[in-house]
Every structure is written in structure tokens, then in C-alpha cells.
Amino acid sequence: MNISELQNQYSQLKNKRQNWESHWQEIADFVLPRKADVNIDRTEGDKRTNRIFDGTALHASELLSSSLHGMLTNAATPWFSMRFKDDNLALDEESREWLEASTRQMYIALNRSNFQQEIHELYVDLVVFGTACMMIEEDDEKLIRFSTRHIKEIYIAENDKGFVDTIHRSFKMSARSAVKRFGDAVGKRIFAIAEENPYDEIELHHCVKPNDQFNPYKMDNKSMAFVSVYYDNEDGHIISISGFEEFPFVIPRWLKSSAESWGRSPSMIALPDIKMLNRMAETTIKAAQKMVDPPLLVPDDSFVLPVRTQPGGLNYYRSGSRDRIEPLNIGANTPVGINLEEQRRGAIRQAYYVDQFLMQQDVRMTATEVMQRNEEKMRLLAPVLGRMQSEMLQPLITRCFNILLRKKMLPVPPESLQGQTIDIEYVSPLARSQRTGEIQAILRSLEIIAPLGQSMPVMDYIDSDKLVQHITDILGVPKKVLRSGQEVEQIRAEKAQAMQEQAEIQQAQQLAEAGGKAAPLLKALNE
């Protein structure tokens, strides 16, 4: 690993990204002004909303990102669980307890960290720019630390499977902070700046990519699956070389073309309508101003100028003159402009799925109708959710699990779990809504089959135990309120034994009654 190789890779990725920068900047100007500094240097605290005359896109993008946050990774509800790939292990009490304890510990670690703050920024960037980036690092205090990076910082490359596995970052930090983090390794240039002007910002570069010298049998950080290099691009000084066992970045794309590495967002789809609505709103505002405070027609020889149009203003004219000050009719038709604006607002809301997320439910709607509407919502979001699961949720949970496992913050797994594969299952409200169609199919099937069961043994095809387990899984019923299979078998055995004992008692009573009735007959025969 030499500096010239790193600089060459950075230059290639930078050139490849140039066409996107102007696009991102234009979108941010109208949709996310607080991050409208992609290719423009801005000072802290400057006004960034001077060009915006309508806030529909701002509110719609925030609604979409907040809705995704609440329905995918809500801190108030479980949004993922872990299960064994081998279903037989789920029946083992010890294995199931370990899995539940590990899942609880992961939720505790995520809630202790800054996950909720940073994941929201990830959703915002994803909705606006189409590509988002969050770094997941180990932390001595919080166990796990998350940091969502501005899109202007990152330069990415995909592997042959279409997943991002290489990233170059160009970021700024104060010279003082750089020395505190890296020590004397920052090099002479940065160290000199830190001594003279410690709060001056300096530019650093960070590269993470697959390690060509990966060796799973070595324990040093330079032999890990991914190599990590910090360097000063200005003087060509390598600051540090280390590694990661997993790719430490989560980089989801909203939608993407097979020929592109960067994602495309709903904001890109809505951008023409956003710009048009902004121009129309500006024009409508000017027209309304002219109607409320119209230009005036003033005779040039009858009044003492200037004309005072403020409330209570006095205008003097020559005595005997019949000339008056009259407003100029500009012929403005604001209702037409307002109608056209509303059409554009509807198109913007459609691009951001506003109508789907704010779907009004009539009080007269049946439960089936509500499920059908939710199913329709999920069909529209299915392509996006599939990519988010594979590019965001899966690597995020895997990375967090491995960090906690290395820090020995998870329970010690039983010997029976050595070499076993653990799958991640998403149980968020949005993930469950995608499976509501299964419940509808089950209910419709039971409605048809149940009447047939009165005359035909068709109900033998349905395993009632598996049916209940499947429905409760889809609806996200907590496992702690459900009995285990062993407990159910024990209860059924006790009920069967009680029924058998009751049957034996009834049989004995019937025999006793029959014996009592037969006693007089036997006595008469003997006599």
C-alpha cells in the first residue's frame, strides 16, 4: 500500500462522481438547504432558503424519511429478530434462550448509542440524494458509535456483486482534533498547524477497501478482511494503516441503474415539478402583492408629488381639480395560478409517497379494507424496501452483532451452536405489513374450507399448531406471551389425563347405577 496508489484511486473515483455533484447541489438547494454545500463553500450560519418560495418538497421529503424511520427502525418497537437457519435448533430450550438474550443485548446497545439520531440523517440523505453513508465503529464508552457522513465527503466503488466495498472519504477536522486522535503520526505539516493555529481546519483522507493481504489466521489488524488507511493528500503522508473484520460503512441506494454506482432518489424524480412550483409560487406571490397593493395612476399636473400610499397617508391636489388617484388594473388571475400550483403539489406528494403514508382511514372501513390499503402501500414500496434490507439493515445488524461478540457483550453460546448460521428476520411494522397478504389468504382459505369440514375430512390438511405460530409471527406477537411447544404438550397431556380420569369416573358411576338397578332382580331370582 503506497500513497501514489491511494491518490490515483481517489482521483479516479472523484472524476467519476463529478457529473452527480451539480445534480445533488440543485436538489439540496430546493429540498434540503441545510446540506446545500455539495460543490459550494458556505459559511456557518448563512441563510440557505432565499431561493425557496414553496415548502411542499421540504415537508414531503421530511415526512417520507420520518415515516421510514418510524416503520423500519423505530426505537419504541422491535424491528428485527434473530433465528437459526436450522429450525430444529429453535426447539432446543438452551439455544432459544441464548438467541433471545443476545437479541435483547443488541437492542440495549443500540439504544445506548447514538443510533436513532444518525439513522434519521441516513434516511434524510437517502430520500434527498438517493445515496447515504453511515459509519459504524467500536466505542469504548458506548460500545458502538454511528456517524452519518455528508454525501460530499464520500467516493464509492462497487464489487462484482453490485455491493459497495470500497470508499474514499475527504473530510475536514481541526488540526487540534487530528493531533488528539492520531498523535505524532499526523506528520510535520499538520503538527505545525496545530501548534500555531489549533482550530484551523485541515483536510484528511480515509480509504477502506478489501485487503489483498487478508489472512484469517493472523490476529493483527493489518491482515483483516478490509484495510483502513488515513493519509494527508496534500503532502502524501500516510498517517495510519489498520483494518476491519467487516466493511464498517452502510451505504444504501434508493434506486439505481445497473450501469451506475450512485443511487437515484424520489427528489430527482420530483425535481422538475419542484422547480416549476417554486417559479409559479414566486409569480403568484408577486401577483397577489400587486392586487393587494396595486400600482397607481396619478395625474401629472394635479397632485403634489410624491404619492403617499401608506395607511393614513395624505396626498395634496389643486383645488377644483377632478383628477383622482386610481389603481392600475393589471389583469391578474390568481385562482388559475393557485390551481396550477396545486397540481404540481400533488405530483410532488406522489413522488414522495405522501398520500400512501397519510392514507385516511374511514371509520366505516372494515378490517379487510384497511389491510388491503396497507397491502397496496407495501406494493409501491417493495422495490425500495428490498434494496434497503440488503444494503442497509442486513450489514448494519451483522456489523453490530460482530462488534458486541468481539467485545464479549453477548452471552456465551452453547457448544451446540458452534458453526451454526443465524439469520436476521425483520419484524418492523413495515415488514409485517408486507406479509398481511398471507393472513388474508389464510382467512379466505379457512372461510372456504370450514363448511366443507362438516361433511368431508378436509380439516386434517391444516396443522393448527403451525397455523397459530405462523399468524403470530406475521403479526409480531411477543414470544414471551406465547407458550413453548413443550409447555403446550404438557398442558394437553394434563387435559387428556383429566378427561380420561373423568371418563373413568363416569364409567364407574354408570356401572354402579347399573349394579344398583340389577340388585332387586337378582334377589327375586334367588328367592
Q: What is the DSSP string of 180-211?
A: HHHGGGG-HHHHHHHHH-TTSEEEEEEEEEE-
Quick one: 518 and 446 in the same domain?
no
265, 285, 300 - which closes a domain = 265
User: Does residue 13 belong to any structural domain of this protein?
Assistant: yes
The larger pLDDT score, comparing residue 411 to residue 467, is at 411
Answer left, alpha or beta for residue 374, where phi above 0 means left and psi between -120 and 50 means alpha. alpha
pLDDT confidence band for 7 (50 / 70 / 90): very high
Q: Which helix (H) or strand (E) holds 170?
A: strand 164-174
Of 265, 299, 328, the last residue of a domain is 265
396 vs 44 pLDDT, higher one: 396
* Residue 442 shares a structural domain with residue 527: no
Is residue 473, in this structure, part of any structural domain at all? yes
527 shares a domain with 443: no
Q: Domain for residue 189, yes or no? A: yes
| Higher-confidence position of 77 and 278 | 278
Q: Is 348 a member of any domain?
A: no
Give yes or no for residue 362 having a pLDDT over 60. Answer: no
pLDDT of the residue at 513 = 73
> Is residue 266 predicted with pLDDT exceeding 70?
yes
- Same domain flag for 193 and 256: yes
Looking at the structure, do residues 205 and 140 belong to the same domain, yes or no?
yes
Residue whose C-alpha is closest to residue 168's, from 12, 41, 25? 12
| Residue 148 maps to a domain | yes
User: Is 451 found in the same domain as 521?
Assistant: no
184 and 126 share a domain?
A: yes
| Alpha-carbon span 10 to 26, nearest angstrom | 24
Whether the CA torsion 424, 429, 434, 437 is positive or negative: it is positive
Grid coordinates in use for 220? Answer: 493483527
The mean-pLDDT minimum among 78-92, 126-140, 212-226 falls in 78-92
- Residue 421 is predicted with a pLDDT of 78
Q: Are 521 and 475 part of one and the same domain?
A: no
Using DSSP's 3-state secondary structure scheme, residue 219 falls into coil
Q: In the numeric block, which cell numbers belong to residue 402?
A: 460482530
Residue 279 lies in a domain: no
Please spell the DSSP secondary structure of 401-438, one letter per residue.
HHHHHHTT-SPPPPGGGTT--EEEEE-SHHHHHTTHHH
Q: Which domain holds residue 505?
A: 489-527
Give the pLDDT of residue 489. 82
Statement to judge: residues 142 and 162 lie in one domain: yes
Arithmetic mean of pLDDT, 488-499? 85
SS3 504: helix
Q: Which of 152-161, 364-373, 463-472 shows the lowest per-residue confidence on average (mean pLDDT)?
A: 364-373
Contact indicator for 13, 157 with CB cutoff of 8 Å: yes
Instruction: Tell me the helix, strand and coil percentages in the chain, rounded to 5.
Output: 55, 15, 30
Q: What is the DSSP letter of 393?
A: I
Classify residue 46 by burial, with Cβ atoms within 10 Å: 0-12, 13-18, 19+.
exposed
**Residue 121 in domain:** yes
Asked which of 235, 265, 295 is the last residue of a domain, the reply is 265
Q: Which residue has the higher pLDDT, 88 or 133?
A: 133
- Buried b / exposed e over 114-143, threshold 16 CB at 10 Å, is ebeebbbbbbbbbbbbbbbbbbbeebeeeb
Q: How far apart are CA 111 and CA 114, in angstroms?
A: 7
What is the percent of the chain where pLDDT is above 70?
82
| 127: enclosing H helix or E strand | helix 115-129
Cβ–Cβ under 8 Å, residues 120 and 66: yes
Statement to judge: residues 467 and 496 lie in one domain = no
The 10s digit of each residue's pLDDT in 415-450 is 777 777 788 888 776 666 666 667 777 877 877 877
Residue 17, C-alpha cell as written in the block: 462522481
Q: Which pLDDT does position 176 carry in this prediction?
A: 93
Nearest to 36 by CA among 27, 28, 44, 26: 28
For 312-347, the pLDDT digits (tens) are 666 666 666 566 766 766 666 667 777 888 889 999
- SS3 category, 460: helix
pLDDT in tens, 16-42: 999 899 999 999 999 999 999 998 888
CA distance 459 to 450: 7
Look at residue 29 in the predicted model and tell me its pLDDT: 94
In this structure, the answer to whether residues 511 and 472 fall within a common structural domain is: no
Residue 345 falls inside a structural domain? no
- How many structural domains compose the chain? 3
* In the predicted structure, residue 525 carries a pLDDT above the cut 60: no
417 against 263, higher pLDDT: 263
Bridge partner residues of 326 (DSSP): 297
CA dist 193 and 201 (Å) reads: 9
Backbone angles phi, psi at 51, to 5 degrees: -90, -5
pLDDT tens digits along 123-166:
999 999 999 999 999 998 889 999 999 999 999 999 988 899 99
Task: Based on the fold, state whether residues 477 and 495 are members of the same structural domain.
Answer: no
The DSSP line for 275-312 is: HHHHHHHHHHHHHHHHHHS--EE--TTTB-SSP--STT
| 396 or 433, which is more confident | 396
